[in-house]
């Protein structure tokens, strides 16, 4: 029986200070198949290589993200369609990664504006969005990587809306935030827009 090779394809996310929504990193492929087509960053898993290391390598080499700017990384789901790669049977393990501000050549595209990608990468992005929506506000590592150590309530609304695809009810979101271990509403308020009331600031407990 022909054996499948294993690829690691990464949904790399950015949500920087001036970003109004979460976006996903894509770049043109430099080799066959699908040379020149946009795709998620992906690499073949090396012998003895851990998944997180492969994911970080993919984001660094395919998106041009400096290693120091690659933050938290996690696993999402496996795609095992035998014909997903024209080169032969390839098992794809989808990962997520959050990247910090940097200068680089990658394109960053919101979930709702994703162009046609090579392989089955659009399917990977769609599946990842649903899984990431379940992680947001529940997985502390993932959530904190996107929000930072502190954030205004308006930022939480933008983050939730861009991942879930719908704007959250503010009262429900506040209850969700209040239930997160290690996260607390502070007494600080910060003006984030020229008009309107200053926003409440939420902050994670400092690491010991």
Nearest to 58 by CA among 112, 94, 110: 94
Question: The pTM is what?
Answer: 0.95
Each residue's pLDDT tens digit, 67-99: 999 999 999 999 999 899 999 999 999 999 999
Q: What is the CA radius of gyration of the chain?
A: 18
The C-alpha atoms of residue 67 and residue 98 are separated, in whole angstroms, by 12
Q: Which of 186, 194, 111 is nearest to 153 (CA)?
A: 186
Torsion sign over Cα 85, 90, 93, 95: negative
Query: Using CA atoms, how far apart are residues 101 and 59, in angstroms rounded to an integer?
Result: 14
What is the tens place of the pLDDT at every residue in 166-175?
999 999 999 9
Q: How many residues does the chain have?
A: 208
What are 95-127's pLDDT values in tens digits?
999 999 999 999 999 999 999 999 999 999 999
Work out the pLDDT band at 1, boundaries 50, 70, 90: low
The DSSP letter of residue 166 is: S
194 pLDDT higher than 80: no
Please state, for a pLDDT cut of 90, what percent of the chain lies above it.
90
What average pLDDT does the structure give for the chain?
A: 95
- If one compares 7 and 208, the residue with the highest pLDDT of the two is 7
């Amino acid at each position: 029986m022909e054996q499948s090779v294993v690829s690691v394809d990464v949904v790399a996310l950015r949500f920087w200070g001036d970003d109004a929504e979460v976006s996903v990193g894509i770049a043109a492929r430099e080799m066959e198949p699908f040379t020149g087509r946009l795709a998620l960053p992906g690499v073949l898993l090396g012998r003895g290589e851990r998944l997180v290391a492969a994911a970080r390598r993919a984001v660094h080499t395919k998106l041009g993200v400096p290693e120091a700017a690659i933050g938290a990384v996690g696993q999402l789901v496996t795609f095992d369609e035998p014909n997903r790669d024209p080169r032969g049977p390839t098992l794809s393990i989808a990962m997520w990664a959050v990247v910090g501000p940097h200068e680089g050549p990658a394109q960053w595209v919101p979930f709702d504006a994703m162009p046609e990608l090579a392989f089955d990468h659009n399917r990977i992005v769609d599946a990842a969005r649903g899984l990431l929506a379940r992680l947001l506000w529940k997985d502390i590592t993932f959530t904190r990587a996107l929000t930072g150590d502190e954030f205004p309530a308006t930022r939480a609304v933008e983050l939730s809306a861009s991942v879930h695809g719908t704007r959250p009810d503010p009262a429900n979101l506040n209850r969700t935030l209040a239930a997160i271990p290690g996260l607390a509403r502070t007494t600080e308020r910060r003006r984030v827009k020229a008009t309107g009331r200053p926003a409440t600031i939420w902050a994670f407990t400092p690491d010991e």
